[in-house]
Structure 1
């Protein structure tokens, strides 16, 4: 059951958490080096995703998948699995060249509903 899609165009927001909302849920995406938020860069990036429910609480039990691609090359989509640690869903993604990237996040909630959000960045 697909019940919501949202998008955030954050091409010029670097070194900050990128946020977007879908159906009252907030998704926050950040690129990290340890506990520090850094700018996305060419190569391997540590990514952290926080999902907050409609009452303002973090969701620790969603099934989260991340896919990423360059808009100019939509056939080449990479995917990454996440691990929940330190109140966030964490993974590594390889942004293997400079340019624009779309990062799509899908999360299945405990009630079975699926939400999708999209972030656009430029490196």
Structure 2
């Protein structure tokens, strides 16, 4: 009986800790590494805070870039495509924005940025499954 209770408690702790960690994705965009994380894992319908850290090829954080997060859901029968954009603000070493995901299902997310002195647009894309 004690083993059963202990194993159930351990499973509960593991389940809670799995949901406590933020959703994080690391992608390459040209010479840059883009680390994007959402505050909820899995992302949920409604407001989700997104944080983006961009590092150059030397591993140094980009602090003076222009960053926007585009998010979309393709058209489905009876529903048009949804496309949104959130401008990210730089504060405390991180670019931050809020994504207002209006429904459950798969969403395409794309971080677009320009890191001076270059004027080249860089992109890092990933998909999230909103619950």
Q: Give the TM interval when normalised to the shorter protein.
A: 0.7 to 0.9
Distance 1:61 1:51 in 2: 10
Aligned to 2:32: 25
Point out where structure 2 has 5 or more consecutive residues left out of the alignment: 1-20
Structure with greater strand share of residues: 1
Aligned to 1:55: 58
What CA deviation, in whole Å up to 9, does each residue of 1:5-64 have, x standing for no partner? Answer: xxxxxxxxx8332111022311111112xxxxx311111011101101000011011111
TM-score scaled to structure 1, two decimals? 0.78
Counterpart mapping for 1:104-119 below 5 A? 104-110=110-116, 111-119=118-126
Aligned to 1:91: 97
Distance 2:88 2:121 in 1: 16
- Considering only aligned residues, what root-mean-square deviation do their CA atoms show, in Å? 1.6
Does residue 69 (structure 1) correspond to residue 75 (structure 2)? The answer is: no
Please list every run of at least 4 consecutive aligned residues from structure 1 whose deviation after the TM superposition is greater than 2 angstroms: 71-75
TM-score scaled to structure 2, two decimals? 0.74
Which structure exhibits the higher relative contact order, with contacts defined as CA atoms closer than 8 Å and separated by 6 or more residues? Answer: 1
How many residues matched? 105
Structure with higher Rg: it is: 2
Structure with greater helix share of residues: 2
